[in-house]
Amino acid sequence: MAQASPHIMLSCRNLWKVFGSRPAYYFDTAGYRIDPEALAARLRSEGHIPAVVNASFDVMKGEIFVIMGLSGSGKSTLVRCLSRLLDIEHGTMEFDGQDLASLSGRELTEIRRRKMGMVFQSFGLMPHLTALENVAFPLKLQGLSRPDREARAREMLDLVELGNRVEAFPSELSGGQQQRVGIARSLAPDPDLWFLDEPFSALDPLIRRQMQDEFLRLQHQLKKTIVFITHDIMEACRIADRIALMRDGRIIQLGTPAEILLSPVDDYVADFTAEVALSRAIRVRDLARPATGERPEGAPVSATAPIEVVLPALAAGQRRFPVEGGADLVLEASAVLEVLARDARHGLKTERAMS
């Protein structure tokens, strides 16, 4: 096996997951040489469901990699393949340079317990255990002593700001608090790779926004490698470093939120992202460029802030903005105005479609 890149946590090539009576039949040496589109069509015509179709991507260490799409697009199936809750029919998956497909059941169990954390839409808390006991449970499976696992569990509950609810049972917690306990439990073993499958979709909009804030706060502090599943384009744009957008089992576009919003590969992606307010989704760093000439005066704007933060100063006549960071970056008003013009065109198109 080739030596893994020190910057890649998870590397996937040509992944297929097919449901049906005999999916392995199609992936012998001769059969897989068929063009992927033709193979997917053949599978469907013969009664199979190709849920993941020839997916290839890398997840870099420390990034938030969002897999998104509508219901039935294959995103949740894909994440279950990545954690080997489902076995693939074809392809390769390397986790930190290790071939996941070749692992024995025991080896896979150890990796899940010690190196992978998982949070799903259903909180999955054990109702007869307190918050502390729920968070400590995976550490109990690892064989940690009770004092050690409870100390770690308290640390994780403090991290998600529930240190004062350690003795509460799940029924005594709100939905958002239950999800925080689930997050704390998944973080307790200090995983290298963290899977989150629509973790906030069961929450009401206000709590969901708060949980997104909490998630970003934790990531700023912990710098985990994260695979995050969602069907919400605004959620994806808010939290992602990169997005893989799926349709019918395929990854149809892979890029930063700005690349997907500003350069959609087809009409489907353009329609999918049409209602996104670009001024809120495009970040300063997406438009910043190396400074030429004199550096503009004034307080620098955060590279991670949405470009809407500069709109008041833009309206007051400021045309160049210094950007925080080690590089000598500047945000030009012309770049912001171009995005605002696209935002206005999107709004006009949506209004016409609805009228």
What pLDDT score was predicted for residue 25? 85
Q: In what order do the strands lie in the sheet with 289-290?
A: 289-290, 329-332, 320-323
Going from N- to C-terminal start, the domains of the chain cover 278-354
298 CB contacts (<8 Å, ≥6 apart)? Answer: 313, 318, 321, 322
Predicted TM-score (pTM) of the model is 0.87
pLDDT tens, residue order, the chain (355 aa) = 445 567 899 999 999 999 999 888 888 755 566 788 889 998 999 999 999 999 999 999 999 999 999 889 999 999 999 988 899 999 999 998 889 988 888 888 888 888 988 887 776 889 999 999 999 999 998 889 999 999 999 999 998 889 999 999 999 998 888 988 998 998 898 889 999 988 888 778 888 888 888 888 889 888 999 999 999 998 999 999 999 999 999 999 999 999 999 999 999 999 888 888 898 889 999 999 888 877 788 889 998 889 999 999 999 999 999 998 756 889 999 999 999 888 776 654 544 443 3
- Rounded to whole angstroms, what are the CA distances from 210 to 122, 123, 160, 173, 177? 18, 17, 12, 16, 11
Where does 278-354 sit in CATH, by number? Answer: 3.90.1280
Give the pLDDT score at 118: 85
Token pair of 346, please? 């999107």
Distance CA 92, CA 86 (A): 14
Q: Put the strands of the sheet holding 193-197 in their side by side order.
A: 116-120, 193-197, 225-230, 64-68, 242-247, 250-255
Q: What's the pLDDT score for residue 228?
A: 95
pLDDT at 331: 92
Q: Which two tokens stand for residue 44?
A: 């469907």
The pLDDT assigned to 355 comes to 39
133: amino acid identity, one letter: E
